[in-house]
Amino acid sequence: MADSILSEGERSLLRELDELGVRYLVVGMSAALLQGARGATEDIDLWFEDLGDPRVAQAVRAAGGIWVSGSFGTGQPRIGGEALSERLDVVTHMSGLGSFAEEYASVRRESVEGVSLPLLPLRRILESKRVAGRPKDLAAAHAIEEALLLLEEAEETKE
C-alpha cells in the first residue's frame, strides 16, 4: 500500500456510512496513527453506536462487502468480502472508556483520502490501551504518549 492508506472498497464503505448517517468511530491504533502516533497496525477498528442499525449492513453491501452480524456463534460481528478484505474489525467494547455516546461527544474529524473519518481522540485511545493492559496495548501506549507530547509542544510554539 505505497500510495494509499485505504483501499477503494474501504473508502467506499466509509463514505457510505457517512452518507447514511451511521455514527461510528475509528478507534485503536489505526486512529492513533492517523493522529500522529508512530507504530504499525494491519487493522482498522470501527466502533459503531448501534450494531443492529440496518444502515450498517446497507453501507457494507453498497461497498461490495459482506456484513455478518454475529460470526459463527462467537457473537462477534464481521465485515468482509473481496471488495473490503479482512482488515476492518468491528469493536464491540472499548476498555476503560464511557459509552459510545459519551466518547462520540469528543470526536475528532480527520480527512483521509477524501473521506472524513470520525476518530477517537488520542487521550481516549491512550486510556483504553492502559486499561486493557495487554503487552501490545502497553507498547502502543508509549507511542501514543510520545505523539501527545509532540502535539503539545507544537501547540505551545504556536502560542
Using one digit for the tens of pLDDT, what is the confidence trace for 101-120?
Answer: 999 999 999 999 999 999 99
Q: Which residue is associated with the grid cell 456463534?
A: 73
Query: Apex CA 78: angle with CA 38 and CA 65, to 5°?
Result: 95
- What percent of the chain lies above the pLDDT cut of 90? 72
Which amino acid is located at 89 in the chain? D
> How does DSSP classify residue 90?
E
CA distance 84 to 12: 9
pLDDT for 73 equals 57
Please report the pLDDT score of residue 2 as a whole number.
43
C-alpha grid cell for residue 120?
477517537
CATH code for the domain defined by 8-158? 3.30.460.40
Per-residue pLDDT tens for 129-144?
999 999 999 999 999 9
Question: Where does the pLDDT of residue 19 fall: very low under 50, low under 70, confident under 90, or very high at 90 and above?
Answer: very high
* Sequence spans of domains, the chain: 8-158
Written as nine digits, the cell of 110 is 480527520
The confidence score (pLDDT) of residue 106 equals: 96
* Confidence class for position 100, pLDDT limits 50, 70, 90: very high
Give me the mean pLDDT over the 4-19 stretch: 94
- Which of these ranges, 18-22, 39-43, 46-50, 56-60, has the smallest mean pLDDT? 39-43
Rounded CA-CA distance 7/14 in Å is: 11
